Each structure stands twice: as structure tokens, then as C-alpha cells.
Homo-oligomer: A and B are copies of this chain.
Amino acid sequence: MAGAFGGFKGCQKIRGPQLRSLMEAKDYFLFDCDGVIWHGEQAVTGAAKVVNALISRGKNVVFVTNNSTRPRESYVHKFFRLGFTGVMLEQIFSSGYCSALYLRDVVKVRGQVFVIGCDGLRRELQEAGIPCVEEEDDPAATIYDCALAPDVKAVLVGHDDKLTFLKLAKASCFLRDPECLFLATDNDPWHPLSGGRILPGSGSLIAALEVASGRKATVIGKPSRFMFECISSQFSGVDPAQCLMVGDRLETDMLFGSNCGLDTMLTLTGVSQLEDAEVYRSSELTANHSLVPDYVVDTIADFLPAFEELDEQIN
């Protein structure tokens, strides 16, 4: 459907009847979470109604998030708590969960995984039966004299707001072994906090390790295609042409959609703004055009009038 409206491809502000046709045309709605569905513990106004309405109309809704800090169960609870009543475990694809699938099913890791990340990521791995190196709690331990876990076959880097130099140094040492895999849940550079503050993201920690190790990490999360492969293998026979990827970040969500052949929609409730998309659209670097959304909405609540029109048609 994208590009069917002539002129420059992409950035089409979409509302009313056009949005309704798009909703009718698609069977799978892939939503990013942070900045799209909620901000922290606050749902985006109308988001729960939209998601519940899509589900009740028989659409497949899945959540594709680079946030690796919580295990999937915790997402189910959060959705429920914020009024998204019908969201099930099977609909949630986090970069932590997909990293566990990658380690277990793709590379079939034998040995321990050293995790830079939150407890939720470690829990996700453990649920997939993947042994993780236990963190030591000794604050006096240093890289000069600490013990290094044996049999570490992968380093997995995710968002970690308890990062220490010791973790970074240990990971660098493990990566000296060329047989030790170097994986990352996602490559997000930073995340917005309230009051204009920012939080360094996994991408920041990966960069530190890439320099220290002289190696490149394999990224599991968006914009890499792997998360879509996880969705495809769970919902067999997903046709990319029937999917809409909705996100707030051009460099992850829109590029992910492009990489997987999905139509893409930017919602302006998060990180990226329309001007950012237009800069990519007018860029002379063709690679940048993959970051341009097909459609733009102010918020996913813009779907609501379309549902009402649909209901009017039906009644």
C-alpha cells in the first residue's frame, strides 16, 4: 500500500478513511511499546482502547520491543495493570526473549552466558534453560585479581543501569576468546527520561565493548530481522505485506519494518519527530530512505475514529 499515493514516498500523515482502509487491509499489527503504548507506568491515552479493539476485531496484535529489562510475564502484568486486558504471553516479543531463542535455537550455545543486563534479562535466559554466570556481590573485587568464570561461550549485552567497570572488563576478557560469541539485545543509543535527562542505552555499552575487544556485536533486536523471524515462526505463514509496524523511533522501528518488508507507521508520542523523518527522506544517501516511515500519526489514538466509522458501517 505504501507509496500508492504518489509524490515523495513516505511520511504520509494518515487519518480518517485512509487510516480505516489501512486497518482493514492489514492482518498483523506490530507495536513497539515504550513511546508508543506507554511512557513508563503511564499508558498513552487511548492506546488500551485501540489495542483491545484491534484484538476484538480479530486482528493479530504483537508487541516488538527492544526493552530487555523485564521478562515476558512481567509485560503481561504491566499490560493488564494499564488496562490492556486481552494481551497474552504469546503476543510479546522482547529483545530479551528473542535473545534467549537465538542462543537456544539458532547458535545452540553450549556453556555459560555472561550477561551485561538487568535481572529480567537473566531470568528470560534461565527460563529458556540457558545457564548464566552468577554475578558476584563483592564490591572490593577488581579485574586485576578476581576469578573469571570458566566455560563462557557468549557475552550478551543489554540495557544495564547497574553497569560497573568490573562487568565491562570481565566481558572484554571473555571476548578475547574468538569462540566466545558477542551478542547484544539491541543497539538503542539512549532513552529519554523525564526532565530532559537521558539514559545511556545498550548501544552505548556495546560501543564500549566493541572498542575494548576490537570485535563487532551481533544485534538481536530491531532493526535486525531476527525478531520478525521469531514472530513468523510462532504465527506460521505471516505475510509481510499484511503487516503494519508501528513505532516511535526511526533508527530502530522504521528500519526494522523496511528490513522485513513491512509497511511502517511512525507515531509522534516518542523519540522521533516528523522533521527527523523528513531529513532522512530528503537525504542523498539512499540507505537513509529505509528509515522513512510510510505513514505518520500523532498518536495511535488516531485509530479510534476509524473504529467508530467501522462500527457505524456495521450497524
Residues of B within 8 A of A162 (CB): 165
When all copies of this chain in the complex are counted, the total is 2
Whether the Cβ atoms of B207 and A210 lie closer than 8 Å is: yes
Docked Cα-Cα span, A68 to B196, in Å, equals 32
- Among B142, B143, B161, B200, which residue has its beta carbon within 8 angstroms of that of A208? B200
Closest residue of chain B to A208, judged by CB? Answer: B208
The verdict on A161 contacting B143 (CB below 8 Å), with A198-B173, A207-B207, A208-B204 known, is yes
What distance in Å separates the Cβ of A174 from its nearest Cβ neighbour in chain B?
10
Q: Does A8 contact B (CB under 8 A)?
A: no
Closest residue of chain B to A164, judged by CB? Answer: B164
Docked Cα-Cα span, A162 to B167, in Å, equals 11
Whether the Cβ atoms of A204 and B197 lie closer than 8 Å is: no
- Among B160, B203, B211, which residue has its beta carbon within 8 angstroms of that of A189? B211
What distance in Å separates the Cβ of A136 from its nearest Cβ neighbour in chain B?
16
Closest residue of chain B to A187, judged by CB? Answer: B211
Contacts A168-B204, A169-B198, A198-B212 given; 20 further ones with Cβ under 8 A? A143-B199, A148-B197, A161-B165, A164-B164, A165-B200, A168-B200, A169-B197, A169-B199, A169-B200, A172-B199, A176-B196, A176-B198, A189-B211, A190-B213, A200-B211, A204-B211, A204-B212, A205-B208, A207-B207, A207-B208
Which residues from chain A sit less than 8 Å from chain B, CB to CB? 142-144, 148, 160-165, 168-169, 172-173, 176, 189-190, 193, 196-201, 203-214
